[in-house]
Amino acid sequence: MKTGDYRRDYAAYSAALERARYDYHTGVAPELRLAPLRDRYADLWTRDAIADLTRALEETSSQFETERVALAALLRASGLGHAEARAAEVTDELVRCKASARVVWDGARLASDDAPETIAAETDPARRRELAARWFDTLRQCSDLRAARLDTLREGARAVGHDSYFNLLSGITEAGVESLGTGADDFLERTARVYATKLFEWSARHLPAASARELVYADSLYFARLTHLDPYFPAGELRSTYDAAMGALGIRVGLQPNVRIETTAVEFGKSRAACFAVNPPEDVRLVYQNEDGAGFYQKFFAAAGRAQHSAWVSRELVARYPELVHAPDETTRAGFALLFADLLADAAWIAAHRNVRPSEATEIARSFALVELHRTRLACARLRQQRALEQATDARSEHLAETYATALEEATSFRAHPSLLLRDLVPDNLHDGRVEVARLPPAVYLRARLFAAALGEYFRTRHGRRWWTTNKAADELIDMWNTGSRYTVEELASLVGLGAPDFDLLSDSFNSTLTRE
């Protein structure tokens, strides 16, 4: 297949996929229909297509840097597509298994994917734990299929020349994973004391004494939801808060005809806020459920960061290199998502946009920062365990699952469950991670987190602590958004003078935010 033809078909596939995701998310389609797309664009993932792309990359001179980057992105997308195509049968079985796995709760049969959100919203610790125990039982029902899917994905990746499926999925080399893992281990050590102290304070304040003495996974979901902050974040003020925040930067969302912001009644098991880049930059859709909640505000702002990234991408880049817009690498988009989500961990921003006293704003910001520290420590633990899973001869190993649960507990202080291993680390389909940042592979999440922290510090240094009120900061953001995913987050950081993102800055940032008087 000629490269130009491949690009045309890849652009058409990407647009059709985003539209299918949007239709499913908004209820237009009763299910995410991937099989028709898989069949219609099957030629994109064949070995012949991959060989043609490989040859084109080898024959492209190093002086054509952007062309080589774009071809590498196409090669990665085709490798992932090939692995997914080989796993299609077991993936379809897994979908059916998940649909039939139900948790009996309060007289109803709750879908397995709906359980985490229900657990997070449950204020009674005993009921949370009971529901979690029933949910873990349903996860076991599909564990063999998840393991079989991973085996097939690994075989598919190897068949087209990749040693590691997870590295292919994350867009990172083995050396990069090792370096990231070393930094993650150091981060866990450097933030351990502050995390333990602040988590103890949270548990003493929000849990009964008996529950606070032994934190479990169900409590971690409740903790991350930030229920105690809900009165500060009413549903009716979400849009006005977002409009004001973007307006302070000089971006008038009401004058962005290419960004459709829609409310919808989202079913359980789906993200309450999501971005769909159907035809960027002309057609970008930000869809959300209008509901109360601190955690929900944060999800919305993360999705909004993705939407702005897609809305400002260069039209010329889209026309020439759709693979640098509909990129297989989620890291750059996730970095901007986290930059926007981090606004809620900024006390000055909270004071300005939620009309609360400075002392209240500080406590609210610390709560958000503590939850984000928890997520980052969780990703650090998952990174090492994902490598162990990749190298294991048997993904169904009970020892591996027990080790995973132990690693999560050591990193987060919440006792985990072995059945979480395959559910957490093996995506149910290639497109799981495009809805919420928290569902991204750990390497992608950590690189995005490092970038967001470095970019936030850069803006504070360059434009002041209230950088989110300056048009110049918006101009710089737009310049970066214009490049789509042309650059990795590390390259983008270097281009704007941030230097290499590192864990020292990230740990210092968390420690300072959580201990500052």
Split at pLDDT 50, 70, 90, the class of 185 is very high
Give residue-wise pLDDT tens across range 280-322. 999 999 999 888 899 999 999 999 999 999 999 999 999 999 9
For residues 20-47, average pLDDT: 90
Q: Which domain holds residue 164?
A: 3-515
Q: How many structural domains does the chain have?
A: 1
CA distances to 103, 230, 258, 293, 361 from 121, rounded to whole Å, are 16, 11, 35, 10, 23
Q: What is the DSSP string of 84-119?
A: HHHTHHHHHHHHHHHHH-EEEETTEEEEGGGHHHHH
For residues 136-144, average pLDDT: 95
- By C-alpha distance, which of 34, 75, 79 is closest to 323? 75
For residues 199-210, average pLDDT: 95
Split at pLDDT 50, 70, 90, the class of 266 is low
Looking at residue 269, its pLDDT comes to: 54
For residues 141-157, average pLDDT: 96
**Exposure b/e, 99-135, CB count within 10 A at least 16 = b:** eebbbebeeeebbbbbbbbbbbebeebeebbebbebb
CA distances to 133, 299, 333, 335, 501 from 340, rounded to whole Å, are 34, 10, 11, 9, 18
Looking at residue 435, its pLDDT comes to: 56
Instruction: Report the Cα–Cα distance between both ends of the chain, in Å, rounded.
Output: 62
**Predicted TM-score (pTM) of this structure:** 0.95
Split at pLDDT 50, 70, 90, the class of 438 is confident
Give the other-Cβ count within 10 Å of 265's Cβ: 8
pLDDT at residue 53 is higher than 80? yes
Query: Amino acid letter at 168?
Result: L
Q: In this structure, what CATH number is given to the domain that contains residue 214?
A: 1.10.1370.30
CA distances to 171, 365, 428 from 87, rounded to whole Å, are 20, 43, 11
pLDDT at residue 38 is higher than 90? no
Looking at residue 181, its pLDDT comes to: 95
Q: What's the mean per-residue pLDDT of the chain?
A: 93
For residues 207-211, average pLDDT: 92
Split at pLDDT 50, 70, 90, the class of 270 is low
CA distances to 51, 308, 484 from 311, rounded to whole Å, are 33, 5, 10
Residue 328 phi, psi (nearest 5): -70, -20
- Is 101 in contact with 141 (CB distance < 8 Å)? yes
Looking at residue 412, its pLDDT comes to: 98
CA distance 117 to 191: 28
Q: Give the total residue count for the chain.
A: 517
pLDDT at residue 264 is higher than 80? yes
Looking at residue 150, its pLDDT comes to: 96
Share of the chain above pLDDT 90, in %: 84
For residues 406-425, average pLDDT: 97
Give residue-wise pLDDT tens across range 340-385. 999 999 999 999 999 899 999 999 999 999 999 999 999 999 999 9
Looking at residue 340, its pLDDT comes to: 97
pLDDT at residue 276 is higher than 70? yes
pLDDT at residue 212 is higher than 60? yes
pLDDT at residue 267 is higher than 70? no
